[in-house]
Amino acid sequence: MLDDASPSAPQAVTTALPAASHRLQPLLHDLVSTVLAPTVALSGGDGQIRPAGVQGLFHADSRALSQATLTIGGREPEAVGHAPRGPGGSRFVALARWLGDPVLDPTVRIERVRQVKPGGMAERVEIVSSATVPVAATVTLELGCDFAPIEVVKSGGDTVEAEAERTAPGEISWSSDGVRVTVTGEGARAESAGHARTAFLSWPVELAPRGRVTLSWKVEVHDPGAVVTAPARAAEWAPGAGEPRIAAADHRLSRLFERSLDDLRSLRLAETAAPGDAFLGAGVPWFLTLFGRDSIWAARMLLPLGTELAMGTLRVLARRQGTRIDAGSGEAPGKIMHELRRHEFAVEGSGLRLPAAYYGTIDATPLWIGLLHDAWRWGAPTEEVAALLPCLRAALGWLGEHADPDGDGFVEYLDTGGRGLANQGWKDSGDALRFHDGRQARPPIALVEVQGYAHQAARQGADLLEAFGRPGAARWREYAAGLAERFRVRFWTDGPLGRFPALALDRDKRPVDALTSNIGHLLGTGLLTGAEEAAVADLLVAPEMAGGFGLRTMSAEAGGFNPLSYHCGSIWAHDTAIVVAGLARAGFAGHAATLAEGLLAAGETFGYRLPELFGGDDRAALGRPVAYPAACRPQAWSAAAAVTLVHAALGLYPDVPVGRVLLRPLAGAPLGPVSVRGLRIAGAEVGAAVDREGEVVVTGLPAGISTERAAREVS
C-alpha cells in the first residue's frame, strides 16, 4: 500500500544524504487520530494540534488546519489523559494547576471534547473549577492553515501558512484554489497577527467558586474538488438494530472487536460522484482514499457482517476498471486500479510520480474476482452479482492476456513507466523482496501469493460463469490446473527449516528463497495439496516466524531481517489475520490460535486499535510490541482483522447459492467461548456461539439454508 518514497517504503540507497537535504517522514505512533472519513484530526495526546510534523486537521488529502493550540491564562494546560468517544470522537483531559486554590490537588480542570465530521470538526471546551476562590483568565485558541497536500506532509516537505481573514465576528477564513476553511468561535473575539499568517480566537472567562463554563468552536471545509466523500447510507453494521454484539470469555477479543467496529465505521468512504456505493479508505492519514487491494481485502474480511460494503467496493472499482494500455499509469484492459487521488501524487526527491488514478498493482484484479465470488457465496443479491459479470469477464481477460508479459506461465509485474511503484504486491516497499542471504531481487517479479490469488480467481471465476450460464468456465479451470503444475515445479525451494514455496521468482526465474509470511496466503487458494498445506502451516508457527506478537513478514533467520523494517521482519495485523483465516479453514486450529494469541496481546498493548504494522521483535525482548513509528492508525484491514479472528473462532462458511453453511469452528475452542449476534447471511441477521468444547450453534438462518458440520482433519 505504501509508496517507494518514504521511510515506510525504504529504497536500496546506501549513500548518506547531507543532513540539510535529508527529509524525514513525520512520526505517527504517539499521535491521537480522530477520524470520520474523509476528515481526520491528528493531535498530541493533550489534544493540541501543533504546527509540526503531521499534526493537523486533514480533509480529502489536504491539510485544512495546521494549528489549533489552546492556552488558558497564557499557558498551555497540562495533559493527564485522553480517550476515544466512538467514531469521530475524542476527549482530552488537562489541568491548569497555576489557577485556583494554592493546594497540592489541582482545582481547575479542562476537558476538550472533539467531534470530527465529514468536512469539519467541532470542539467543546469545558473548564471546571473545584476551587474555593473565583477564577478569571483568558482562553485563547491559536490557529493556522497551510493547505499542504498529504504527499508533501508525508515526505517532510516545506509548507507555507496561508493568509487568514476575519470574515465575521468570531469568524476566521482561509482560501486557496477553490478550497475554503472557516473557523467560528461562539462568543469569541477573532483577531490575526500582524503578518496575517496566524489567527486567534479568544474568550474572557470568569468562574465562581466551584463553577464551570463551556466554550465551543468549529471548523468547516468547503472543498468542491474532493474525489472522495462520506457515503450516503449508514453501514449494515451501524449502531442500532442489527448492530453486531459479541460476548467472549477472552475480554481482549471482545474489546478488539468493538473498538475495531468503531474504526471501520469511521473509515467508510464513497466517490463524490457516486455516494451510494461505500468502500473503506485504506488508512489514516496517508491513505484515506480508495486503494484497490486494501479496500478489497477489508471488504472481504468483513463479509460476516454483510455484503453491502463488498458490493459497493466492487462497483466502485468496476467503474474504473482499465480499458487501455498505458505504461505511465499501469492501466491495462480489465485491470483493477491501485489508488485514487485528487491529483498526481509526487514525492519530492524520490522520482515517484503517480497519476491521480494509478493501476500499479499485480494483485487487485484477482482479489476483485475473489471478493465477487465470496460475496455471492455469502448471499449478495443475485441481480447485483449478475450486473458485474461483464467486469468479471474483463478481469479474467486481463489475467489471461496481460498478467504474464513474458509468457512463462506466471503472473508478474514490472514498472515499465519508470515513475511508479517498483514492487506491486502488498509488500510494495523498495527493499521488500530479498533472498535468504539479504540480496534484493530484481524485477520482473512473480510473487508467490499472487500465483495463489490467480489460481483461486480462475477457479472462482469459472464457478461464477457456470452458475450464471456464461461460457468459458472450462478454460479457467484448465488455467488453474496448469498454474498449479508449473508452481509445484518452479517455486518450491529448500531452507534451514525444510522445503517451502519461495517468496518469488526474480527476473532470471530464480526462486527468491527467503522464508516469508507471503506463503501463508496460499492456504485455501487450492494451489497446495493437503500435505503441502501442512508443511506451510508448520513453518508459519516456527519461532523464527511466530516469535513476536503475530506473524513476522520475514523469518528472523533471514539475512534481510529487521524487526522494524516495513516488510522484512515487522508484523502486520491483516497479514497475520489472513493467515489465521487460512489455517482455521484448513483445520489447523492450534496453529491458528498461536498467531491469533499474538494479535490479541498486541491489541491490548495498542489500546485495542491495531496499527497498520508494528515491530517483529521477540516477545521476551520488551514484553510488548514496539511501535512502527510511521504506521497508519486506524487502518482498514488492521481493524478488519478483529472480525477475521472472530469469524475463525466461529467457523461459519456459507454457500448461499446451494443453501448450506459449513461449520468448522476452531477445534477445542482455543480462543475460548465466543458468541456473536448481528452476523449476516443472505441479508438475514444471524447469531452464532461456540462453547468451551468447540461446538457451534447457529440461529436465525434464512429459510432454505441449513448447516453442515465439517470433518475435523487437523487440530
Q: Residue 156 to residues 64, 422, 611: CA-CA distances in angstroms?
A: 17, 22, 21
pLDDT value for 418:
86
pLDDT value for 241:
67
Q: Which helix (H) or strand (E) holds 401?
A: helix 389-401
Residues 593 and 523 in one domain: yes
CATH code, 81: 2.70.98.40
Residues 235 and 330 in one domain: yes
- Report, as an integer, the average pLDDT of 276-288: 97
pLDDT value for 5:
36
Residue 114 lies inside a defined structural domain of this protein? yes
What HEC string does 327-381 produce? CCCCECCCCCCCEECCCCEECCCCCCEECCEECCCCCHHHHHHHHHHHHHHCCCC
pLDDT at residue 239 is higher than 60: yes
Q: Residue 557 to residues 429, 520, 560: CA-CA distances in angstroms?
A: 20, 18, 9
Q: Give percent helix, percent strand, percent coil of the chain, each to the nearest 5.
A: 25, 30, 45
Residues 176 and 324 in one domain: no
Q: Is 223 left (phi over 0), alpha (psi -120 to 50) or beta?
A: beta
- Report, as an integer, the average pLDDT of 115-124: 98
Tell me the pLDDT tens digit for each residue of 201-236.
Answer: 999 999 999 999 999 999 999 999 999 999 999 998
Cell of 331: 492501466
pLDDT value for 349:
66
pLDDT value for 4:
37
Residue 8 lies inside a defined structural domain of this protein? no
Residues 597 and 647 in one domain: yes
198 pLDDT tier (thresholds 50, 70, 90): confident
Residue 565 lies inside a defined structural domain of this protein? yes
Which residues lie below 8 Å from residue 355, measured CB to CB, with a gap of 6+?
Answer: 328, 329, 344, 345
Domain that holds residue 114: 39-222
Which residue from 202, 203, 204, 208 is spatially nearest to 100, judged by alpha carbons? 208
Measured CA to CA, the distance from residue 551 to residue 559 in angstroms comes to 18
Query: β-strand 135-144 against 165-168: which pairing, if any?
Result: unpaired
Cell of 660: 448450506
| Beta-carbon count within 10 A of 15 CB | 4
SS3 state of residue 202: strand
* Long-range contact pairs involving 130-133 (C-beta distance under 8 Å, separation at least 24): 130/100, 130/210, 131/99, 131/100, 131/101, 131/107, 131/207, 131/209, 131/210, 132/101, 132/209, 132/210, 133/100, 133/101, 133/209
Cell of 622: 520488551
Confirm if 25 and 155 have CB atoms less than 8 A apart: yes
pLDDT at residue 17 is higher than 60: no
Residues 599 and 575 in one domain: yes
Phi then psi dihedrals of residue 317, to 5 deg: -70, -35
Residues 335 and 202 in one domain: no
Tell me the pLDDT tens digit for each residue of 480-526.
Answer: 999 999 999 999 999 888 899 999 999 999 999 999 999 999 999 99
Share of the chain above pLDDT 90, in %: 90
Residues 246 and 199 in one domain: no
pLDDT value for 22:
65
Which residues lie below 8 Å from residue 299, measured CB to CB, with a gap of 6+?
Answer: 279, 280, 309, 310, 312, 313, 314, 371
Residue 706 lies inside a defined structural domain of this protein? no
Which residues lie below 8 Å from residue 32, measured CB to CB, with a gap of 6+?
Answer: 42, 43, 44, 45, 47, 82, 90, 92
| Beta-carbon count within 10 A of 471 CB | 9
352 pLDDT tier (thresholds 50, 70, 90): confident
Residues 285 and 162 in one domain: no
CATH code, 637: 1.50.10.10
pLDDT at residue 11 is higher than 70: no
Measured CA to CA, the distance from residue 189 to residue 202 in angstroms comes to 5
Cell of 22: 535529508
pLDDT value for 16:
40
pLDDT at residue 382 is higher than 80: yes
Cell of 556: 528472523
Q: Examine the fold and report which residue of 175, 196, 222 is the final residue of a domain before the chain moves on.
A: 222
Q: Examine the fold and report which residue of 222, 248, 265 is the final residue of a domain before the chain moves on.
A: 222
Is residue 475 exposed (0-12), middle (13-18) or buried (19+ Cβ within 10 Å)? Answer: middle
Measured CA to CA, the distance from residue 267 to residue 287 in angstroms comes to 11
Residue 586 lies inside a defined structural domain of this protein? yes
Measured CA to CA, the distance from residue 135 to residue 611 in angstroms comes to 42
3 pLDDT tier (thresholds 50, 70, 90): very low
Residue 185's Cβ-side half-sphere holds a number of Cα atoms within 13 Å equal to 24
Q: Which residue has cell 477573532? A: 190
pLDDT value for 240:
79
pLDDT at residue 18 is higher than 80: no
Number of structural domains found in the chain? 2
pLDDT value for 1:
44
In this structure, which amino acid lies at residue 492? Answer: W
Confirm if 437 and 495 have CB atoms less than 8 A apart: no
Residues 567 and 584 in one domain: yes
Q: Which helix (H) or strand (E) holds 535?
A: helix 530-540
Q: Which residue has cell 498445506? A: 533
SS3 state of residue 315: helix
Residues 207 and 259 in one domain: no
- Report, as an integer, the average pLDDT of 13-21: 40
Tell me the pLDDT tens digit for each residue of 588-624.
Answer: 999 999 999 999 999 999 999 999 999 999 999 999 9
Q: Examine the fold and report which residue of 222, 247, 275 is the final residue of a domain before the chain moves on.
A: 222
Measured CA to CA, the distance from residue 347 to residue 250 in angstroms comes to 44
Measured CA to CA, the distance from residue 618 to residue 565 in angstroms comes to 14
Give the mean pLDDT of the chain: 94
421 pLDDT tier (thresholds 50, 70, 90): very high
Confirm if 420 and 360 have CB atoms less than 8 A apart: yes
Residues 238 and 209 in one domain: no
Phi then psi dihedrals of residue 24, to 5 deg: -115, 140
Tell me the pLDDT tens digit for each residue of 146-176.
Answer: 999 999 999 999 999 999 999 999 999 999 9
Confirm if 273 and 699 have CB atoms less than 8 A apart: no
Which residues lie below 8 Å from residue 203, measured CB to CB, with a gap of 6+?
Answer: 138, 139, 140, 185, 187, 188, 189, 215
Residues 210 and 244 in one domain: no
Tell me the pLDDT tens digit for each residue of 610-663.
Answer: 999 999 999 999 999 999 999 999 999 999 999 999 999 999 999 999 999 999
pLDDT at residue 6 is higher than 60: no
Residue 68 lies inside a defined structural domain of this protein? yes
7 pLDDT tier (thresholds 50, 70, 90): very low
Cell of 467: 452458475
Cα dihedral 383, 384, 387, 392 sign: negative
| Beta-carbon count within 10 A of 438 CB | 14
pLDDT value for 19:
44
In this structure, which amino acid lies at residue 650? Answer: L
Residue 513 lies inside a defined structural domain of this protein? yes
Residue 710 lies inside a defined structural domain of this protein? no
Confirm if 421 and 293 have CB atoms less than 8 A apart: no
In eight-state DSSP terms, residue 695 is -
